[in-house]
Structure 1
């Protein structure tokens, strides 16, 4: 059962026996995760999955350091995975889980911890953000989470797989300061109240934070000193692009003019050369004709 096995082995004992066995080989630790999520509403089914190496032949699941269940693996494609099912989530099944796997006679290192949380246990808190849900980049914002019934801990969570919850201690209201914000802070946020780390309230209504990426008019001078305005950069880039294109066109025209001048010069030189040759040819012809005339009429003079 889940957390009901009182006489079973503990995880430290398992590691100790493995050390005493003086095994030289150390198996890599498995990966553990929960489906559909690590936050599960009360009464909802959840599955805990543990993935080891392809040669794994047995898996063990530990709840709060005590052996809770054993499974043979299933081959899901190329993955060797064991699945542990909780039919209905309760405060008794919420807590920290780890898993190990066995290959031949050797047990692996334990996985990283999986903190499984049950939600919808208490009243619903209210979440607000100041100065407002739409702020310029670089500004500080603060989320306020309030729960009418006194609690001990509040959690703020941004929707997304890689997000990890932030926590603050308080009775009825806490602040979650954030900033200077960037576009990476954009997203939808919810908060929860809790009496322990694994039993949370109903989620608050979502609050969507929009970071515009531009500074307000009141911070214009500071913005110029800190970060150039995007519109100025765009305008400058467009001007530089136009100047670059104009320069390229000018260079192309100059090349065409130079080529045309060179072509004209070559043609002129060819023409001049041809004219000189023609003159020399005519001069030789006339001289030859005169020589012939004088040779055939010696008494002309």
Structure 2
């Protein structure tokens, strides 16, 4: 015996299940991995005998398959905190670079500045 699981309105071929154990020929387990929202819908099961594989049984009662997604998490507050911390770090680095700016001049430039300060003034 073979079982078929078909989603109503779907152009896709039905899933097929052939039980290995003939004693369990009255039930079938179908798997869907990974499940997405596209799997949601109404399903019906059909069966056929091995003696007449093209003759399907009447459809089973419909089974509604509902896929609910978990709600997306809101990362707004966490992202805001990270951005503020990053901005503060950049601000501190900018202040440190600005304060270190005069010491970045070479020793010759520093001597010229000092030499100009020591020029005698005439009155």
The alignment's TM-score, normalised by the length of structure 2, stands at 0.52
User: Which structure would you say has the larger Rg?
Assistant: 1
Looking at secondary structure, tell me which structure has more helix per residue: 2
Find the counterpart in structure 2 of residue 190 from structure 1: 44
Find the counterpart in structure 1 of residue 119 from structure 2: 280
Structure 2 unmatched ranges of 5 or more: none
Work out which structure has the larger RCO, using CA pairs closer than 8 Å and 6 or more positions apart in sequence.
2
After superposition, the CA RMSD in angstroms is 4.5
Matches within 5 A, 1:85-164: 153=1, 155-159=3-7, 160=10, 161=12, 163-164=14-15
Find the counterpart in structure 2 of residue 200 from structure 1: 56
Looking at secondary structure, tell me which structure has more strand per residue: 1
Deviations 1:95-136 (A, max 9, x none): xxxxxxxxxxxxxxxxxxxxxxxxxxxxxxxxxxxxxxxxxx
Residue aligned with 1:197, SS: coil
Between Structure 1 and Structure 2, how many residues are aligned? 110
Q: Tell me the CA shift for residue 256 of structure 1.
A: 1.6
Query: Do structure 1's residue 246 and structure 2's residue 84 form an aligned pair?
Result: yes
For 1:193 and 1:163, the matched residues in 2 are separated by 11
The alignment's TM-score, normalised by the length of structure 1, stands at 0.27
Matches within 5 A, 1:156-235: 156-159=4-7, 160=10, 161=12, 163-167=14-18, 174-178=26-30, 183-184=35-36, 186-187=39-40, 188-195=42-49, 196-204=52-60, 206-212=62-68, 234=73
